[in-house]
Amino acid sequence: MFFHITTQLQYKKNNSIKQRNNMDKQRLPMPEIINDDKHRHKQFNGHFDSNRFRPPKVKTRYIAVENNNLNRSQSSGSCSANNSQIAHAISFRGGSECSDAGILPTSPSAAAAASSMSTTSCNMSHFEQCFERLTKLGEGSFGEVFQVRDRSDSRLYAVKISKQLFRGEQYRAERLEEVRRYEEFSGHENCIRFIRAWEQYDRLFMQMELCRESLEQYLYRCRHIPEDRIWHILLDLLRGLKSLHDRNLIHLDIKLENVLIDDDDTCKLADFGLVIDVDKANNHQATEGDSRYMAPEILQGHFSKAADIFSLGIAMLELSCYMDLPSNGPLWHELRQGKLPEEFISKISVELQQVIKCMMSPDPRQRATTEQLLAHPRLVRMQKQEKSMVTLKLLSKCFRRSRRAFWLKMCNLKTAAYRCLFYLLEILHLYKPITSSQTPMYNGNTATAAPSSPSTSVAGVPRLEFQLVGSTPIGNRDCYISDFLLAMDMDLSQHGTPTACERENLVNSTPINHNHLTANRQRSSSARKTRPEKSNLLSVDENCSFVSSPSKVLETSSFRGKKLFTLDVDEE
Ligand SMILES: Nc1ncnc2c1ncn2[C@@H]1O[C@H](COP(=O)(O)OP(=O)(O)OP(=O)(O)O)[C@@H](O)[C@H]1O
Ligand SMILES: [Mg+2]
C-alpha cells in the first residue's frame, strides 16, 4: 500500500473565531505582558474582535491511495444530481461496514405538518419536513448545529448539518465516518447521544440529543470555575475518553468546544469527526485537531492515545486557570516543554497542578493513561462518593415504594372497615342493600336487569373500582370521595345510569378532571387490560346508590369531603 502525505492549513470559520474573541476579552486577570504571543490571554470588551483570527487548524493528512473502506455500491445516496435529492438514512448499526439504509419514508406526522405549511411538501427537504428549526447552537469547521423541534414528538434536539457539499467519494466517506463513531459511543453516559443520520442534497444531517452548552460557553459564562467542579469535569471526560481508548480509538480533537454539558451537568464528549483507529492513525489517514490543544508529537506524525491525554490536560489548564491557549509561538512551545506559566498555575491546588503536568508531559510515554488518571486518589474518592450516592438514590426509591405500598395497604384496611360497617348496618336493619338483580342496567335507553357481576357480588356492597395511573392529574394529591362522586354525578347527569361497560370505564378513569374523563375511559381501560400487573387497583366499597339512580347519588353526600387516602405517586 502506498500513501502520500499532504499537509494543509485549515482556518477556522470566522463566526466561531468572533465568538471566541468576543468572549476572550472577559478573561481576567491579565498577566504581565512580557511577550506579545507568550501572554496573549483572553479578555472581553463586550463586542467581537473581528480582526483577531482563531488559530489555524494545521492538518497533516495521511491519505491512503487505496480507496476508503466504504462500500459505495451499497449506498443509495450519492453525489449524483438525481440521487442526492432524495434523503437516505445513514447507519452503521447493522454491523456491515457501511449499511446505508434506503430512502427515508416521511412520517405521517411530518407529512401532515409539511402539508399544513404553505410550502409544498415535495419541495421541502427531509430536514424541513421533520423539524422546525429554532436557533443556531454553534458552528465548527465541518458543520453548523441547530436547535430543532421534532414535528413528530415535539421534543427538542440538535441537528448538525455539514457545511460543505460532498465533493467526492473520499470526502463523503470521511464525513460518514463521524456517524459510525457517534453510533458507537451513543450509549455511553459521557458521550453525546446520537439519534439518527441521513444525507440529502450532498449534505450530511445528524440528529442528536440537545445539550445545554459547550464547555467553552460554560467557561465564558462562569469565568471562574470552582476546583471541585473541575475535578468532576475531569472525571466525566476521562470516563468518556476511556471508552474510546478501550476500543483503540483516538479522538484527536479534544477541546472545550467539543465537550457538551447536558441539563444534569454531565460533561459529554462530542464531535467524533476526527476519531481514528490508533493502528490506522499512523499509516492511513489522520487529521489532527485544533493546534491550541495539539500534542507536540503530532507534528512528527505520531498519533497515539497519549495525544488525547495531552489535549485533555491542556484543556483542563485552560478551564482551571482561565488561560488563553496560544496556537503557535514561544508560549505554544513552552507549554509543550512542560513549562507552565507560574502566574496561572499557582492559582490552582498542587494536587490539580500535578495532574495537569502529568497529562501534559512532553514525552508521550510518560503521560498517564486514562486508567492511571482514574486511579488518582481524588478521582477514586469521587467515584466512591458517586457510587454511594447511587446507593442512596436506590434506597430512597425503595423507601418511596414501600411507603406507597403501605398507603395502599392502609387504603385496603379502610375499605375493609367500610365493608364491615355496611354489614353491621345491614344486620341492624339500618341499611337496605340493593342486590345485583335489582341493579338496573342501561343498554342504550332501555333499562335491563344486570347480570350479576363480580363488582356487585357482595350483597349490598357494590364495588367501586378505580385505577391509579401515575401520569393522570390525580397524582400527588389527596383523594376524596367527592372527587369520584363529582365525576359520577356529571356522568350520570349526562348519560343517566351507566351501563356495566360504562361503569367500568367510569371507575377506571381518573375522575378529578371531568374533561379528561371521556379520553381517560378508553386509555385507562385498555391500559388495565394490557398491563394488569402494573396497575395499582384499589377496591373501595361504596354506597351503591350511584349505580341505581342519579337521585341516590345524593345519599352519598355524607361521604363528600371525606379523605379516602393520600396518593403518593412514585416520581420514577
Ligand atoms: N448536541 C448539541 N447540543 C448543543 N450544542 C451543540 C451540540 N452539538 C454541537 N453543538 C454546538 O455546536 C458547536 C459545533 O459543533 P461540532 O463541534 O460538532 O462541529 P464541527 O464542525 O465538527 O466542529 P470542529 O471545528 O470542532 O470540528 C459546538 O462547539 C457546540 O457549541
Ligand atoms: Mg467541534
The more confidently predicted of residues 337 and 59 is: 337
Catalytic amino acids? 253
Domain boundaries, the chain: 213-385
Amino acid at position 525, single letter: S
Q: Is 286 in the pocket of ligand 1 (CB under 6 A)?
A: no
Mutual angle of helices 517-530 and 481-495, in 10-degree steps: 110
ipTM of the complex: 0.98
The three-state secondary structure class of 290 is coil
- Across the chain, mean pLDDT equals 69
Q: What is the CATH number of domain 213-385?
A: 1.10.510.10
Instruction: Please report which confidence band the pLDDT of residue 465 belongs to, taking 50, 70 and 90 as the band edges.
Output: very low
DSSP-assigned letter for residue 362: S
Tell me: pLDDT of 290 over 60. Answer: yes
Long-range contact set of residues 95-99: C-beta below 8 Å, sequence gap at least 24: 96/71, 97/69, 97/70, 97/71, 98/69, 98/70, 98/71, 98/74, 98/176, 99/74
C-alpha 52 – ligand 2 centre gap (Å): 19
Q: Is 269 in the pocket of ligand 1 (CB under 6 A)?
A: no
Locate cell 481508548: which residue?
245
258-277 per-position pLDDT tens digit = 999 999 999 999 999 999 88
CA 219 to the chain's CA centroid: 22
| Ligand 1, atom nearest to 208 Cα | 1
Tell me: pLDDT of 155 over 90. Answer: yes
Amino acid at position 226, single letter: P
Q: Is 148 in the pocket of ligand 1 (CB under 6 A)?
A: no
Contacts of 133 (CB under 8 A, 6+ apart): 127, 146, 147, 148
| Ligand 1, atom nearest to 255 Cα | 26
Tell me: pLDDT of 288 over 60. Answer: yes
Determine which of 386-395, 467-476, 495-504 has the lowest per-residue pLDDT on average: 467-476
Q: Is 160 annotated as a binding residue?
A: yes
C-alpha 255 – ligand 2 centre gap (Å): 8
C-alpha 273 – ligand 2 centre gap (Å): 8
| Ligand 1, atom nearest to 217 Cα | 31
Q: How many CB atoms lie within 10 A of CB 499?
A: 18
> What is the model's pLDDT at position 102?
57
> What is the model's pLDDT at position 547?
38
> What is the model's pLDDT at position 328?
94
**CB of 385 closer than 8 Å to CB of 378:** no
> What is the model's pLDDT at position 162?
93
514-552 per-position pLDDT tens digit = 344 334 444 444 443 444 343 333 333 444 333 333 333
Cα–Cα distance, 551 to 150 (Å, whole number)? 50
Residues of 451-482 as b/e, b for ≥16 C-beta within 10 angstroms?
eeeebbeeebbbbbbbbbbeebebbeeebbbb
Closest CA to 138 of 287, 240, 23: 23
Tell me: pLDDT of 326 over 80. Answer: yes
Locate cell 335491563: which residue?
448
> What is the model's pLDDT at position 280?
77
Tell me: pLDDT of 502 over 70. Answer: no
- The pTM is what? 0.60
Residues measured by CB to lie within 5 Å of ligand 2, the ion? 140, 258, 271
CA-nearest residue for atom 9, ligand 1, is 145
> What is the model's pLDDT at position 123?
74
C-alpha 308 – ligand 1 centre gap (Å): 18
> What is the model's pLDDT at position 476?
37
Tell me: pLDDT of 170 over 50. Answer: yes
C-alpha 154 – ligand 2 centre gap (Å): 26
Mean pLDDT of 13-18: 42
Q: Which numbered ligand comes closest to the C-alpha of 216?
A: 1
Task: Please give the span between the terminal C-alpha atoms of the chain, in angstroms, as a whole number.
Answer: 56
Mean pLDDT of 132-148: 94
Determine which of 18-27, 156-165, 267-276, 562-571 has the lowest per-residue pLDDT on average: 562-571
Q: How many CB atoms lie within 10 A of CB 64?
A: 16
CA-nearest residue for atom 23, ligand 1, is 140
Q: Which numbered ligand comes closest to the C-alpha of 178?
A: 1
Mean pLDDT of 153-163: 95
Tell me: pLDDT of 453 over 50. Answer: no
Cα–Cα distance, 463 to 469 (Å, whole number)? 19
Q: How many CB atoms lie within 10 A of CB 37?
A: 13
Of 133, 144, 145, 185, the one to substitute when testing ligand 1's pocket (max ligand atoms within 8 A of C-beta) is: 145
Tell me: pLDDT of 163 over 70. Answer: yes
> What is the model's pLDDT at position 370?
97
Tell me: pLDDT of 246 over 90. Answer: yes
Mean pLDDT of 36-47: 38
In 450-562, the DSSP E strands lie at 463-468, 478-480, 536-541
301-320 per-position pLDDT tens digit = 899 999 999 999 999 999 99
Amino acid at position 254, single letter: I
> What is the model's pLDDT at position 286?
79
Cα distances (Å, whole numbers) of residue 95 to 147, 183, 489, 520:
30, 11, 60, 43
Cis peptide before 29 (omega within 30 of 0): yes
Q: Is 140 in the pocket of ligand 1 (CB under 6 A)?
A: yes
The three-state secondary structure class of 503 is helix
The strand pairing partners of 143, in sequence order, are 162
Phi and psi at 444, nearest 5°, equal 70, -120
Highest mean pLDDT among 123-132, 171-180, 255-264: 255-264
